[in-house]
Structure 1
């Protein structure tokens, strides 16, 4: 298990705790402001994924740089990586694939297999959640003209995204371990 995976396990707890907090205040009907906890949980789950990708890439690059660390070449590569990571937002399947291929020469999406998931399904599911994360971050509650608006993310969906991201990280970490 990588250090990035260990950090991820700590980071994903924020999303799990937001879900637990939502459950603790959930009544029938839930308070009007409870929906924000689910949106925040979605954002935190996908932030944990983004942080994992960045940390795992840095972890592997530090190993790869090894003997040239501190040299002009080593510094150049690490400076470029840090610049790329500063611009690495919303790690969709394509962005994740591209950055791992560029720096480590592997397509991590090929390893996205687990129960009821294969790479194509995992990619489309990740991309869908990334899109929803964008909505949660950039759009608060929509304005209604007297009629109730559906919540951006339902409680069971938040539970699914947390489980999905945990499995995605586990599959990615295992794939990197066996291919580097």
Structure 2
């Protein structure tokens, strides 16, 4: 297992803990401010994914560049990668595919399959979750005129995204372990 995957496992626990806090205060009806825990859980789960991608490409490149470490070429590539990672936000399937292809010559998205999930379905799901994270980050609770507004993310959806990301990381890490 990569160090990046170990770090992901630690990071995804934040999302699980936020979900546990939501469960602990959830009653019928739930407090009005409980929804923020689910939004924060979504943000933390996808932040764990973003960190995994950044750490995993860095880890793989460190390994690949070991033979040229300290040389001009090695330093140039490392600096280029670090510059790119500073601007690498919201790792959609296309962005993730591109960075791994550019630096390692590998399409990690082709390995995104597991029970009842194809690479195409995994790509689409990841993109939808990334988009929803953007809504959670940039939009607070919708303003309503006395009527109950729909929650951005339901409890079962947060559980689903956590499971999805765990599988996505497992599939990506397994693929890279076999192909590096």
Establish whether TM, by shorter chain, passes 0.5. Answer: yes
CA distance in 1 between counterparts of 2:73 and 2:45 reads: 35
Note the C-alpha offset of 1:29: 0.6
Which contiguous aligned blocks of 4+ residues in structure 1 show a shift greater than 3 angstroms?
none
- Could you give the per-residue CA deviations for residues 120-147 of structure 1, whole angstroms, max 9, x where no partner exists? 0000000000000000000001111121
Task: List aligned pairs for 1:61-72, cutoff 5 A.
Answer: 61-72=61-72
Task: Give TM-score scaled by structure 1 length.
Answer: 0.99
Structure 2 match to 1:99: 99
* Partner SS, residue 28 of structure 2: coil
Structure 1 match to 2:47: 47
CA distance in 2 between counterparts of 1:172 and 1:129 reads: 17
CA distance in 2 between counterparts of 1:110 and 1:177 reads: 14
CA distance in 2 between counterparts of 1:157 and 1:49 reads: 16
Structure 1 match to 2:141: 141
CA distance in 2 between counterparts of 1:42 and 1:55 reads: 20
Note the C-alpha offset of 1:9: 0.5
2:90 pairs with 1:81: no
Note the C-alpha offset of 1:116: 1.0
CA distance in 2 between counterparts of 1:70 and 1:151 reads: 51
CA distance in 2 between counterparts of 1:143 and 1:168 reads: 34
Note the C-alpha offset of 1:37: 0.2
Note the C-alpha offset of 1:160: 0.2
Structure 1 match to 2:108: 108
Task: List aligned pairs for 1:15-26, cutoff 5 A.
Answer: 15-26=15-26
Structure 2 match to 1:14: 14
Note the C-alpha offset of 1:64: 0.6
Task: Return 5+ residue gaps in structure 1 as ranges.
Answer: none
Task: Give TM-score scaled by structure 2 length.
Answer: 0.99
CA-based RMSD of the aligned residues comes to 0.5
* Partner SS, residue 33 of structure 1: helix
- Could you give the per-residue CA deviations for residues 53-83 of structure 1, whole angstroms, max 9, x where no partner exists? 0000000000011121111111110000000
Q: How many pairs were matched up?
A: 180
Task: Return 5+ residue gaps in structure 2 as ranges.
Answer: none
